[in-house]
Structure 1
């Protein structure tokens, strides 16, 4: 690394501008995550086709994320974040032109490119803009910027569609990320965060990344399936589904904040992965029981548990990966983390949709819980997995 100036830290203006851009970017993402599958269903798609909209979004997101560490070195974090925000938002209003599956999938793919750019650049900036001893709390605040839009808008999207229609939602969801791009010039990076070479970042030991990536994948599959299919599994339930979506977003937000404090102040980095996976599995089983009993308050309780468990895993896994890759590889660590997150979301939407089509939504949620259980067994079977330390 070159330069003598230190990162400004979590109280600095660059970090705050990054958080503001993140809030606006994720507003456009969160608002549509449960809405686009409903739009595709209106166009005649079944559960599999509706789930494919999220799967395609995540597939192009992941494909893009593979190239982002290279782009970060060559054109810089700010340009990548701004370009991603515009690509995520600008195509969104065109969804209103047709509910047929083909154009919806095409626009979802384009938005996925933007989301892939923005997510890797944003989470890499978490490490680049603050000193290492603040990584846990910085990741928690980044989780706040990611979680607040989901806390409000995952539930609001379905409710606003019922009140104002799909077109209004598409226009608002498109405006947020584009406005976020206007904040990017305020993210001024210190000389200490500029890489000295354009070569590839150092490669961490594979074993250091296995447990956090496994935890992210299994939890993301679970939450991705829950968010995509809960509105379809509990139709005409009044405020129950918006309440559950609000609950999973709130749980995720709280889980990330709690984990950030425990990582920085208690030194528990890596120790929260397995507990987070177990809590996520318990939440899914609560959903299975609730659907079998005709839904009810347990739908909300289970969603909160899924969100809190996944929130713990999100924060802890990100800090573990930053440590494993080192200061020269924050972009690569961010890409690995985001790929695990978004690939899991896509697999959850498509794979659990394939289970739900013939067997029902209870079977889909139960399959995700079993997958988490297998993940816990594999993680604990690895040497050192009990603490999750690299």
Structure 2
């Protein structure tokens, strides 16, 4: 049974994210769904190889999963507007779990690719819906913290279920783990039924103007507002693709005796650092009243982590130095994850919350897959240190884009009904963010100067009418 839905005004009066109806159910549902995904992530390729399949088919099972994930993410915002969050998330959890039973028929070419593709559809819809739903459920002033808590639940789920899948498969067989994954997804579907029956906000209506001069200020395209934060998370995700694919093997080369154990520990360290710093980044954003404070820190730290990995592998230093590298990279990636998502929510109107989530998730997933592929080719040519070093360089490119974005258009936001405008409309939020910069006029839409970067024009002598938040 769905939880009672509150109005936006009632939500803004809540004094804690935990009082938001449906928030706890969403966290449990997302943790269970990601658990179902994590259980089979390393198991399906292993089952293919154990069945005598080729390396290409083993990799293809993951590849087609990610392909249908990204394709589904593109259409999910429309689903959230038409049928709502509750049905979409129930369907996504169902599609993520039930097709796992199809592997019981075998892991030959046709069944493994077909059922992996179906599961990718469920995962794609889920990842977009869960991030956008949090923005709908919690008060605006707690959005950073709520996003961080969501990251903690996802991270803990992966840390628990990734090794559990391999252990269950090893001790009880592959058929057992398929059943466990389907059952875990069923738990997610049941919890999704308790999510309030909300629909994503409809697309914004054509604007009206109080003064003719307002028409002179151009509307900024969505892609210009989100390209730089999307690039930030994509570049770190590419580095993560290299870390998740090659760090255990690199550790094993340095220490053939204990390398297998240390490799798993390193990935856990990366995941733990991500959780902690993603949450911390959200808390900082809430206290300041706007995102962006830890973006530079995250990109620099992530870049340093990859650079240290390259140096340690190249010089053959102790694997303990890789612990430091794993902490640095995980901390940086966690900060950038939260900052990029909050920046998209902050710049876009409420009617495009689902699009922001779709863009963020697509950047994350595409970056991870692209990093594994491209940096894998580099690893074949220049060894693992070359892969990590190239990853650091890619992150540096994203860092330069963020610097340029900050200098040329620091206050790039949509012209009305955006996160900053909504914060100023909520009395409780205004009190919570009294230390943030006070801007009297809302007309801060930047004028495009380049394809990616825009500059804020001089403030006009009139005040723009803000659209009411409904």
Q: TM-score, normalised by structure 2?
A: 0.73
Contact 1:57 1:112 in 2 (8 A): yes
Structure 2 partner of 1:323: 346
* CA–CA distance in structure 2, aligned partners of residues 36 and 306 of structure 1: 28
Contact 2:203 2:351 in 1 (8 A): no
Question: Is 1:372 paired with 2:389?
Answer: no
For structure 1, list consecutive stretches of 5 or more residues without a partner in the other structure. Answer: none
Deviation at 1:376? Answer: 1.4
Contact 2:241 2:372 in 1 (8 A): yes
Q: TM-score, normalised by structure 1?
A: 0.87
Question: Is 1:31 paired with 2:47?
Answer: no
Contact 1:270 1:316 in 2 (8 A): yes
* CA–CA distance in structure 2, aligned partners of residues 20 and 338 of structure 1: 20
Q: How does 1:79-94 map to 2 (within 5 A)?
A: 79-94=87-102
* CA–CA distance in structure 2, aligned partners of residues 186 and 370 of structure 1: 45
Q: 1:352 to 1:138 in 2, by over 3 A?
A: same
Structure 2 partner of 1:230: 247
Helix, strand or coil at the partner of 2:407: coil
**Structure whose alpha-carbon radius of gyration is higher:** 2
Q: 1:383 to 1:179 in 2, by over 3 A?
A: closer
Deviations along 1:245-285, whole A, 9 cap, x unmatched? 21111111111110010000134512322321222222223
Match of 2:360 among 312, 315, 337: 337
Match of 2:267 among 242, 245, 253: 245
Q: 1:389 to 1:278 in 2, by over 3 A?
A: farther
* CA–CA distance in structure 1, aligned partners of residues 101 and 320 of structure 2: 35
Deviations along 1:94-131, whole A, 9 cap, x unmatched? 44655556644433322111101111111110111112
Contact 1:263 1:269 in 2 (8 A): yes
Contact 1:270 1:387 in 2 (8 A): no
Give the superposed CA RMSD: 3.1
* CA–CA distance in structure 1, aligned partners of residues 410 and 179 of structure 2: 46
* CA–CA distance in structure 1, aligned partners of residues 409 and 332 of structure 2: 17
Deviation at 1:346? Answer: 1.7
Deviation at 1:60? Answer: 1.2
Q: How does 1:202-221 map to 2 (within 5 A)?
A: 205-221=222-238
Q: 1:351 to 1:254 in 2, by over 3 A?
A: same
Q: 1:361 to 1:3 in 2, by over 3 A?
A: same
* CA–CA distance in structure 1, aligned partners of residues 21 and 230 of structure 2: 31
Aligned length: 385
Structure 2 partner of 1:106: 114
* CA–CA distance in structure 2, aligned partners of residues 118 and 241 of structure 1: 29
Structure 1 partner of 2:440: none
For structure 2, list consecutive stretches of 5 or more residues without a partner in the other structure. Answer: 1-5, 207-218, 414-470
Contact 1:233 1:361 in 2 (8 A): yes
Structure 2 partner of 1:270: 292
Contact 2:249 2:263 in 1 (8 A): no
* Greater Cα shift, 36-45 or 84-93: 36-45
Q: 1:231 to 1:156 in 2, by over 3 A?
A: farther
As a proportion of its length, which structure holds more helix?
A: 1
Contact 2:244 2:267 in 1 (8 A): yes
Contact 2:379 2:387 in 1 (8 A): yes
Match of 1:143 among 128, 147, 151: 151
* CA–CA distance in structure 2, aligned partners of residues 199 and 173 of structure 1: 43
Q: How does 1:4-43 map to 2 (within 5 A)?
A: 6-7=10-11, 10-11=17-18, 12-42=20-50, 43=52
